A = this chain, B = another copy of it.
């Protein structure tokens, strides 16, 4: 039942069954699910709101446990949206990674934040 054994399909199926058994498809419209993901993402952020970047790297077990649950919620709603829209998530993620690898060539962006790179390119281009 660990990351090495579990496929996205199995998780999608478990979530689909959960929703179907509660007759919650009516609430799980794409619009509503996009709100749910954003709400869970904010609950995740709440844990880091007043921490420095450094403090956010040294979390206590209790915080880590809660953060794991928020992360699970985000992924679960994402899976539910993928179910609704019949999106193959693994395929979509691999395609996005192909795109990211082309967009951010490792030799060009190494050690630079996306944004920093972006601004620099603008300056160079200007």
Q: Which A residues have a C-beta under 8 Å from some C-beta of B?
A: 1-9, 11-12, 14-15, 18, 21-24, 26-27, 29-32, 34-39, 41-54, 56-57, 59, 64, 67-69, 71-76, 78, 81-82, 85, 87-97, 99-101, 104, 106, 109-111, 113-116
Residue pairs across A and B with Cβ atoms less than 8 A apart, 10 shown, are A2-B9, A4-B7, A8-B11, A11-B90, A27-B114, A29-B57, A39-B49, A50-B114, A69-B92, A69-B96
Neighbour of A110 across the interface among B11, B22, B44, B46, CB < 8 A: B22
Pair B39/A51 contact, Cβ less than 8 Å: no
Using Cβ atoms and an 8 Å threshold, which residues of chain B touch A69? 92, 96, 99
